[in-house]
Structure 1
């Protein structure tokens, strides 16, 4: 009997934001030490003193840290980040359970 390994990420978007962050680091957009400092500051600001299990709380903080780097480095305007966040929220709220989430323009 083969045992199926547990997925490394709870949700597809967790894997996607992780992969995007790694790809941006590998492309030289920011140093990993800069990422670690920004992510650590985000966790501290959010007051996440409990042990994180890699779920939504952890990856929401991860996304917030990535957005901070995008703004601070001038890679994306704050208004563009907020617009994209709103578009994603509208898309996932209107997507039937089990279906892939798609942005209206894409």
Structure 2
């Protein structure tokens, strides 16, 4: 399955005639990470589709699909953990470090992981 076919058949994917539509920069980054990891052979599109589908259908998923990219990110984290690239603890620690860095970064400045005040 090609990326174009995946996008065309992804239920809930916010898209226009030109491709996916992102409301926030992190959504585009999560999308790009999934495409890059697929291109590097970490998972097949079939694995991706099955994992994402499971996240979209889990109890608590929103009927209007407004949480689509949150499910996308959960699917990405799940595949990364299942392929032993990083475990969920490592992913959570890195996410927390980025949050601390974001809070420590002055408005208008780029958020960099080295801004995390707890980073050693």
TM-score tier after normalising by the smaller chain length: 0.7 to 0.9
Unpaired segments ≥5 residues, structure 2: 1-19
- Tell which has more relative contact order, 1 or 2 (C-alpha 8 A, sep 6+): 1
Q: Under a length normalisation based on structure 2, what TM-score does the superposition of the two structures give?
A: 0.69
Instruction: Give the Cα separation in 1 of the matches to 2:73 and 2:55.
Output: 10
Structure 1, unpaired ranges of 5+? 1-6
Are residue 11 (structure 1) and residue 21 (structure 2) matched?
Answer: no
Taking structure 1 as the reference length, what is the TM-score of the superposition? Answer: 0.77
1:105 Cα deviation after fit: 6.7
Superposition deviation, residue 21 in structure 1: 0.3
- Match status 1:34 vs 2:34: no
Structure 1 residues 49, 12: closer, same or farther in 2, change over 3 A? closer
- Paired residues, number: 97
Deviation digits for residues 9-63 of structure 1 (CA, Å, limit 9, x no counterpart) = 111111111001001111111001111111111122253242224xxx2222211
